Amino acid sequence: MKQTFLALDLSTPHGSIAVLKDDAVVFEAAFQSERSHNAQVFAPLRDALAAAGDGLRGIVIGTGPGSYTGVRIAIAAAQGIALSRGVWCVGWSSLTAPHIDAPASYRVIGDARRQSFYLAQVENGRLLPHIETVDADTARARVAESGPWLSFDAKTPLDLENVRLARPSAAQLARLVQRRTAEEIASLAAQPLTPHYLAEAFITTARKPGKAPAL
């Protein structure tokens, strides 16, 4: 019996949806949005569900790092489908699924904002847990030492010449999860779906009504 997976990645401005039946991609769609995917994702998602049919086994979500809003939209859509179809839903790092041909193991550099950059490593389709956040000078030195390097940003960080640009592929996400054992998929499905944060969220505390700000 063929195993059918639906995968969805909205962690970058390049949205990606795919349906995989065994090793065959039976549906794939890509679209671009500079602000939010919520206005564009539902038409291709409807087509993807039609392509999956009644044999849908599970849903894979690209968890970033990347657009917090995009990942949250993907999670909400996937959870609704999973609930209505009675299938599992798992998250997998978007950094492991480049749309370009890439070696099984590579390193990733990305803009972490506030003049800092994150460095990550992927080995055989898995994101290693330790992700560093470094300054620009350290990033340049690290990229010069070893490789190959990819970036999932819209443009190459620091204009580094030996970094290839990529974007997440939903089809590749589905393939990566398809290779996992049934036990590992069950373990992943039991974990909460959350965006991959590079840093703790910054939350401001509201002032009490009528209280003047401190000078």
DSSP 5-62: EEEEE-SSSEEEEEEEETTEEEEEEEEE-SS-STTTSHHHHHHHHHHHGGGEEEEEEE
Residues 121 and 133: their CA atoms lie apart, in Å, by 13
Point out which residues pair with 98 in neighbouring strands: 168
Residue ranges of the chain whose pLDDT lies below 50: 1, 201-204, 212-215
pLDDT at residue 22, as a whole number: 87
* Domains in the chain: boundaries: 4-95+168-189, 105-165
pLDDT at residue 213, as a whole number: 45
**Alpha-carbon dihedral 60, 66, 67, 70, rounded to 10 degrees:** -10
Which residue from 110, 195, 186, 204 is spatially nearest to 149, judged by alpha carbons?
A: 110
**What's the CATH class of domain 4-95+168-189?**
alpha beta
pLDDT at residue 32, as a whole number: 85
Cα 22 to Cα 3, 58, 99, 109, distances in angstroms: 5, 12, 19, 32
pTM reported for the whole predicted model = 0.87
Helix (H) or strand (E) holding 190: none
Of how many residues is the chain composed? 215
Q: What are phi and psi of 191, to 5 degrees?
A: -90, 145
Residues 146 and 3: their CA atoms lie apart, in Å, by 38
Query: pLDDT tens digits for 139-176?
Result: 999 999 888 999 999 999 999 999 999 999 999 999 99
